[in-house]
Amino acid sequence: MSKIKNISGFPEWLPEEKLLEDRIIAQIKRVYESFGFCPIETPAVELKSTLSSKGVIDKEIYLLRRALKDPQETDTEELALHFDLTVPFARYTAQHLNNLVFPFKRYQLQKVWRGERPQKGRFREFYQFDIDIVARDTLPLAADAEIINAIHLVFATIDIGAYRIRINNRKVLLGLYQSLSLSPEQQRETIRIVDKLDKIGEDGIRKELSALLPNHSDAIDTIISYTKVRVAPTEVAQALNQFNCSDPLFIEGRTELETLFSLLPQDSVQFDLSLARGLDYYTGTIFEVSLPAYPEFGTVSSGGRYDDLAGQFTNQKLPGVGGSVGLSRLMGLILDKGLIAKGRPSPTDILITVFDEGQRVELQAIASTLRTRNYAVEIYPAAPKLGKQIEYADKKGIPYVFFKTVDTGEVRVKTLATKTEASFATLGEFFEAFPSK
């Protein structure tokens, strides 16, 4: 007999937890579809060369290898598991370009795999739940607002308490850094350093900036002062004007931010100039969602605007904007902190008990009728003492238990939560009381 060993980083839920996850997935799906996003799915497996096409860190990739390779096999391309949904989406869009309608709005819920060293709190397999809008040639800023509005509604809908959507714009950052006479390379590095603020703190980024920009202590002070600008939507224009920055990229970004905030609700959003996002990829709007009650937990969703989705695969210019909800991480938090009450470990509404095996055919017909009325119904698979059957319903949290006596044909329904019982002289009367779920 082999001992079962846990492999860390591959989360797995109990039935009542999976039912909760499914409920949250259905809520997010409904929100995304209510904005007109369409589902797509790509294989978990891509060519290694596809995944590496944007210069990703190879060590996070899991390669596949057949345990026993067929000697006649000539297919020698390396296969690998995708580590995010963006690269597969880029490949999909480029591949099916002529079969898609643009602006193309897709959502995608899939697991991704990252070959990290096993360590506590780090998932190696987890769900991401992405949305993106991609256009040919140009994509208006209204799309940025739509992505953030959809993510906003996701967090309002799943209802796990206050959330904060921090928003910035890369053009504003780069314009400000340009005004400090930083070179393009220094600007990119500065973004990478500022992105670490939450992790290494102000002293940490000052140290790294000093290494990057020796003899620029004024510029460093200024860059750090920018990270303190965090204002409500109504104060965005004023906050941006105070910089008196005439850099054209800054001005472009300022206009974008003002327009964007005019299209967002006032609650739960803020302009946060400390937000940088690590990826080179982003060119305009960037955002991150966090839960103020759990600062240690970090980001639960993020995204932004990019100029070029699939330049590695097609000549067609495909600008886009997107966001991703870290579903597995979020589930971990929800379960850990009990943010949503777990339900019962079964979808069943009614347990039909069995006094005698001779009843089973009739009870099956009753169950079928109830199923057409949208009730989930189980018939106990044997006919032991009633106490045992009720105990089963109780353990599974099944709300109603149905009894039909063999002799009188009387029907009784017990509501387990209240320990009350209703009695029906005929089946017809019972069906009237359970018209539809």
* Least CB distance to a copy of itself at residue 135 (A): 8
Q: Which is nearer to a copy of itself, 228 or 395 (CB)?
A: 395
Burial class (CB in 10 A: 0-12, 13-18, 19+), 323: buried
The structure tokens listed for 365 are 């017909």
Q: How far apart are CA 320 and CA 322, in angstroms?
A: 7
Min CB(223)–a copy of itself separation in Å: 33
Nearer to a copy of itself, 21 or 195 (CB): 21
Of 60, 67, 65, 63, the C-alpha closest to 126 is 60
Nearer to a copy of itself (CB atom), residue 125 or residue 410: 125
Smallest distance, a copy of itself to C-beta of residue 16, A: 8
* Structure token digits, residue 36: 């007109």
Nearer to a copy of itself, 44 or 251 (CB): 44
Residue number, 194 or 327, with CB nearest to a copy of itself = 327
Distance CA 53, CA 69 (A): 26
Label each residue of 292-352 as H, E or C: CCCHHHCEEEEEEEECCCCCCCCCCCCCEEEEEECHHHHHHHHHHHCCCCCCCCCCCCEEE
Smallest separation (angstroms) from a copy of itself to the CB of 35: 7
Q: Which is nearer to a copy of itself, 212 or 343 (CB)?
A: 343
Least distance CB 343 / a copy of itself (angstroms): 10
Nearer to a copy of itself among residue 72 and residue 420 (C-beta): 72
Closest approach, Cβ 61 to a copy of itself, in A, equals 4
**Residue 245 beta carbon to a copy of itself: minimum distance, rounded to whole angstroms:** 25
Burial class (CB in 10 A: 0-12, 13-18, 19+), 21: middle
Is the distance from CB of 37 to CB of 322 less than 8 angstroms? no
The upper half-sphere exposure of residue 282, i.e. CA atoms within 13 Å in the direction of its Cβ, equals 31
